[in-house]
Structure 1
Amino acid sequence: MNIAKNMEAIFLAAVALASVTSFATASNPAQRITPAAVTQAADDTTMTVVTITGKRLTAAEKAALAN
Structure 2
Amino acid sequence: MTDNSQDMGLKALLGSAEELEPTLSPGLIEAAYVIERTHQFNRESPIASQELGKLIEEYIGADDQG
Query: Normalising by the residue count of structure 2, what TM-score does the alignment of the two structures yield?
Result: 0.28
Q: Which has the larger radius of gyration?
A: 1
State the structure with bigger RCO (CA 8 A, min sep 6), 1 or 2. 2
Which structure: greater helix fraction?
2
What TM-score, normalized to structure 1? 0.27
